[in-house]
Amino acid sequence: MFFQKKTSLKKQNRNYSAHITLAVWSLIVLFPLWVMLINSFKDRLSIYQNPFGLPEKWNFMNYAAVLTDGDFLVYFRNSLFVVILSLAMVLITGSLAAYALANWRGKISLGLYFFFIAGMMLPIKIASIRILELIRALGLINTIWSVIPVYTAMGIPIAVFILTAFIRQIPYELTEAGIIDGASRFVVFTRIIAPLLRPALATTAIYNLVPFWNDLWFPLIFITDDRAKTLLLGVTRLFGQYQTDWSKVLAVLTLSAIPVISLYLVMSKQFIKGLTAGAVKG
């Protein structure tokens, strides 16, 4: 009885420690978002006078100016188009590659798998000069199409890693049953395997959404035309040589954070399920 009470106390203390750690970490994560949000409703001088407190007078003109006077909607549309198309290509290509690697056992398939995984370890930015030459040779400079193949290449390694581990957890008897019924490998994938991949696909999408949406490096290198600029690249127009209108900058950043946060809130259950069922068990 004594040992049972001692064990229960240890579990309670461990739970308290975990909750305290998560609470502290949540505050650390939410604090910058809080500062960004409240300062987006202030004028420029109020930000310097009281950067961490609530605004004395809520100023909605920052958002009105961003939405009406600038090209925010054009930049937002460009970013949305680029991210959606890049994610679609990553999910389709990654799922097909993962299905092949999960069912093809051998040294060659293992080597290909590690080749994909190596892409997670090597930052793609170290090849920026060569990538720029390639994009120029393809005639994609100064178009929003220039960043799509780069983002696709960035996202495929993590997609293959997560989806391969997830597919290997699916009983192979399902595939065998489909083949016995006369279905081809592609039909088995589209009709049987693909519907089961939703949690892993959600995990892959969220993992890649954040770096795609927040990327400034490659649009800065490839795009100078205002009509083709992405959202974060367009924000740089608000930075002046001698002064910066931080209230408008923070308003744009607040609006740009809404799609990422919304997608995570909508797909959080699938995201967690995909992590626990696929990426961890591999």
Residue 63: how many CB atoms within 10 A of its CB? 18
Place of tokens 């993590």: 158
- pLDDT value of position 2: 46
Measured between alpha carbons, how far is 262 from 149 in angstroms, rounded to an integer? 25
Please identify which residue in the block is written with the tokens 């290997």: 168
Helices 246-274, 61-68: axis angle to 10 degrees equals: 80
Whether 92 has a pLDDT exceeding 90, the answer reads yes
Asked whether the beta carbons of 181 and 119 are under 8 A apart, the reply is no
Give pLDDT, residue 81. Answer: 93
Distance between CA atoms of residues 96 and 189, nearest Å: 8
Burial classification of residue 22, based on how many CB atoms lie within 10 Å of its CB (0-12 exposed, 13-18 middle, 19 or more buried): exposed
End-to-end CA distance of the chain: 39
Do residues 212 and 87 lie in contact, with contact meaning Cβ atoms separated by under 8 Å? yes
The per-residue pLDDT for range 25-54, each reduced to its tens digit, is: 888 888 888 888 888 888 877 777 777 888
- Burial class from Cβ neighbours inside 10 Å (0-12, 13-18, 19+) for residue 235 reads buried
Task: Name the CA radius of gyration of the chain, rounded.
Answer: 24
Please state the φ and ψ torsions of residue 212, each to the nearest 5 degrees.
-65, -50
The pLDDT value given to residue 198: 85
Query: Cβ distance 98 to 278 under 8 Å?
Result: no
- What percent of the chain shows pLDDT beyond 70? 87
**Token code pair at residue 228:** 């083709």
pLDDT of residue 240: 60
Convert the pLDDT of each residue in 173-226 to its tens digit: 888 788 887 878 888 888 888 888 888 888 888 888 888 988 889 998 998 888
- Reduced to 3 states (helix: H, G, I; strand: E, B; else coil), residue 58 is coil
Q: Which of 235, 256, 255 is nearest to 246 (CA)?
A: 235
CA distances from 63 to 4, 32, 44 (A): 59, 19, 14
Which SS3 state, helix, strand or coil, does residue 97 take? helix
3-state secondary structure of 52: coil
Cα–Cα distance, 53 to 107 (Å, whole number) = 60
Question: 199 with 274: CB under 8 angstroms?
Answer: yes
CA angle 168, 263, 191 (to 5 degrees): 40
